[in-house]
């Protein structure tokens, strides 16, 4: 049973909150916890230590981002008390179109919404100039790979990930500035920036189609559709006519052309669910508006930024939305933030 608890100042019954930096949410009286008995709370990567009191005895415990409870005095009783516990994970994705230029927007969103995982695309900065210190001061660890002026992906997490995988594969031509996998609390999170394609007659568009096929092989190598996993990012495809303004006029656009849509759907059919469409099947909502023709004001947009989950995880998605506020501020990216909450 995974549990996150804040055990402090136990002189009187109180409600437990989330451990800072863990993503655990728990609404459970401390008084109940004190009655249950003795526990050992442990997993890799100790963050802090302390004591709690149970039946007059003081016991040592450790707090970590993910905590396993082992009940030492009657497992059945402990399970009954643990049944009300859950972990709420918030994940968000945002094409920043330059992390250095959009850093104030990113920091404000982190402070206001406290996502457990924030995936960024088009960071457009070489690794030596990534704003690691500012991200750390905001309470986040940054895993990233980028290049000067183009591409770049970064995943911000409240703790150090269990694992980080850069690129589609090891060695050269691995596109590590377009895809990064971080494993957070055992859940693989694929953050990717799919090539835009330029025009449907270009070599870049042909490479875009190939890229989706490479993604399918990547999923088959690294993931299991029967287990929780996420694929998020600027995927540069509006899957259906509802996902783009004036769809009848967009059929030759590289983000809505039938070949790109088919390649995207084939990648999704490997084992992913579009959680936005699962919860909002008929809603017109865009995530990208270009800087021209007053596109944002007129809502001439595209839904090309996505959060997709394997079926076991999609079933636990309780909320998903598009936050348009970052698109309204001065010097905004042409994309905005998509976020989802999962009850695990």
Distance of CA 23 to the CA centre of its chain: 12
Using CA atoms, how far apart are residues 1 and 78, in angstroms rounded to an integer?
10
Please state, in angstroms and as integers, the Cα–Cα distance from residue 120 to each residue in 192, 305, 336, following that order: 9, 11, 11
Using CA atoms, how far apart are residues 149 and 166, in angstroms rounded to an integer?
19
Using CA atoms, how far apart are residues 310 and 190, in angstroms rounded to an integer?
12
Residue 193 falls in the annotated catalytic set = yes
Give the start-end residues of each E strand in the chain.
Answer: 24-25, 39-42, 48-54, 57-63, 68-71, 86-95, 117-121, 141-145, 153-157, 163-166, 179-184, 187-193, 230-234, 272-274, 305-310, 317-323, 337-343
Place of tokens 């084992």: 271
Token pair for 338? 């998509």
Using CA atoms, how far apart are residues 95 and 102, in angstroms rounded to an integer?
10
Using CA atoms, how far apart are residues 327 and 97, in angstroms rounded to an integer?
12
Residue 52 falls in the annotated catalytic set = no
Which residue among 71, 140, 193, 286 is the active-site one? 193
CB 140 within 8 A of CB 110: yes
Which residue among 234, 255, 305, 334 is the active-site one? 234
- What end-to-end distance do the CA atoms of the chain give, in Å? 11
DSSP letter at 26 equals: -
Q: Which residues are catalytic?
A: 193, 234
């Amino acid at each position: 049973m995974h549990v996150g608890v804040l055990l402090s100042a136990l002189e009187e019954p109180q409600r437990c909150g989330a451990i800072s930096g863990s993503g655990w949410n728990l609404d459970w009286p401390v008084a109940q916890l004190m009655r249950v008995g003795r526990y050992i709370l442990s997993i890799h990567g100790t963050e802090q230590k302390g004591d709690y009191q149970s039946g007059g005895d003081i016991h040592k415990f450790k707090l970590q981002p993910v905590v396993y409870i082992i009940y030492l005095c009657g497992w059945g009783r402990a399970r009954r008390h643990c049944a009300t516990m859950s972990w709420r994970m918030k994940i968000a994705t945002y094409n920043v179109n330059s992390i250095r230029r959009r850093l104030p927007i990113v920091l404000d969103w982190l402070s206001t919404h406290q996502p457990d995982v924030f995936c960024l695309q088009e960071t457009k900065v070489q690794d030596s100039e990534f704003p690691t210190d500012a991200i750390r001061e905001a309470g986040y660890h940054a895993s990233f790979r980028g290049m000067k002026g183009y591409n770049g992906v970064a995943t911000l997490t409240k703790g150090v990930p269990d694992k980080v995988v850069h690129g589609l594969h090891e060695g050269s031509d691995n596109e590590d500035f377009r895809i990064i996998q971080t494993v957070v609390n055992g859940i693989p999170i694929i953050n990717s920036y799919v090539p835009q394609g330029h025009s449907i007659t270009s070599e870049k568009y042909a490479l875009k189609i190939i890229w989706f096929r490479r993604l399918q092989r990547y999923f088959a190598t690294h993931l299991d559709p029967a287990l929780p996993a996420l694929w998020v990012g600027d995927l540069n495809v509006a899957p259906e006519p509802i996902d783009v303004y004036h769809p009848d006029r967009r059929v030759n656009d590289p983000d809505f052309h039938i070949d790109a849509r088919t390649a995207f759907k084939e990648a999704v059919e490997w084992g992913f669910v579009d959680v936005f469409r699962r919860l909002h099947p008929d809603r017109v909502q865009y995530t990208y508006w270009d800087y021209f023709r007053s596109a944002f004001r007129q809502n001439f947009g595209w839904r090309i930024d996505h959060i997709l989950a394997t079926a076991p995880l999609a079933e636990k998605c309780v909320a998903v939305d598009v936050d348009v506020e970052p698109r309204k501020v001065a010097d905004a990216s042409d994309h905005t933030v998509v976020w989802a909450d999962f009850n695990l």
